Amino acid sequence: MARLRCNDYGFECEFVSEGEVEKVLDEFGKHTEEEHGIDYSREALMQFILRQQN
């Protein structure tokens, strides 16, 4: 189970994606690109998830 929240990464945004890792990578990546104009790579998003687990 993974979870990424926009406000954890400096955005004044309440978007949260949680669930299986692949789903979170897809949803959060799509959201940040469309809503915030930032195209995070899947590798960068995976690093966000891994850092939360430590």
Full residue range of the structural domain in which residue 39 is found: 2-53
d(CA 39, CA 51): 19
Distances (CA, A) of 15 to 31, 48, 54: 8, 15, 23
R_g of the chain, CA atoms, integer Å: 10
Give the pLDDT confidence score for residue 32 in this predicted structure: 97
Q: Domain total for the chain?
A: 1
Bridge pairing between strands 16-19 and 2-5: antiparallel
pTM recorded for the entire structure: 0.90
> Is residue 2 a contact partner of residue 19, using CB atoms and an 8 Å limit?
yes
Reading the block at residue 53, the tokens are 């687990």
Confidence tier at 53 by pLDDT (50, 70, 90): confident
